[in-house]
Amino acid sequence: MVRVVFASEEDNGLESKISYHFGRCPYYIFVDVRGEVVESVKVEANPFFNAHQPGMVPKFLAEKRADVVISGGMGPRALQFFREMGIKPITGVSGKVGDILKKYLKGELEEEAEPCR
């Protein structure tokens, strides 16, 4: 099983809009997948939405057993934290979580994350 976490602007599960920045998003959508089968979808509010220090959100998501984090963008330090924790960051996406998940499961997303400018 793989746990994919999406930075989201909304609390609408797979219908939620992806957030441009993972640390400042109001919600995280946790999706557990086995192969191409979605086993569960859970939404959690970002406990650091209003304020966070570098490394707090990556640590939070690591504690939630994230394997992959997908967002529109993230800064270079966040990318470094995730990589050091063994969590794969994917950036540069937009749209609905469910649509992005389908692309991820088909291997259609760019696997190399770039920091936002």
- Domain assignments of the chain as residue spans, ordered by start: 2-105
How large a percentage of the chain has pLDDT more than 70? 93
Residues counted in the chain: 117
- For domain 2-105, the CATH class is alpha beta
Question: What DSSP line would sit under 15-41, residue for residue?
Answer: GSBBPSBSTT-SEEEEEEEETTEEEEE
Mean predicted confidence (pLDDT) in 66-93 = 93
Reply yes or no on whether the pLDDT at 113 is more than 80: no
- On average, the pLDDT of the chain sits at 92
Within the chain, residue ranges assigned H as helices are: 56-63, 76-84, 97-105
pLDDT value, residue 33 = 98
Residue 60: CB atoms within 10 A of its CB come to: 17
Reply yes or no on whether the pLDDT at 24 is more than 90: no
CA gap 114, 117 in Å, rounded? 9
pLDDT value, residue 53 = 77
pTM, two decimal places = 0.93
Assign 112 a pLDDT band (cuts: 50, 70, 90).
low
Half-sphere exposure of 66 (CA within 13 A, CB side): 26
Sheet holding 88-90, edge to edge: 37-45, 27-34, 2-8, 68-70, 88-90
Mean predicted confidence (pLDDT) in 67-91 = 93
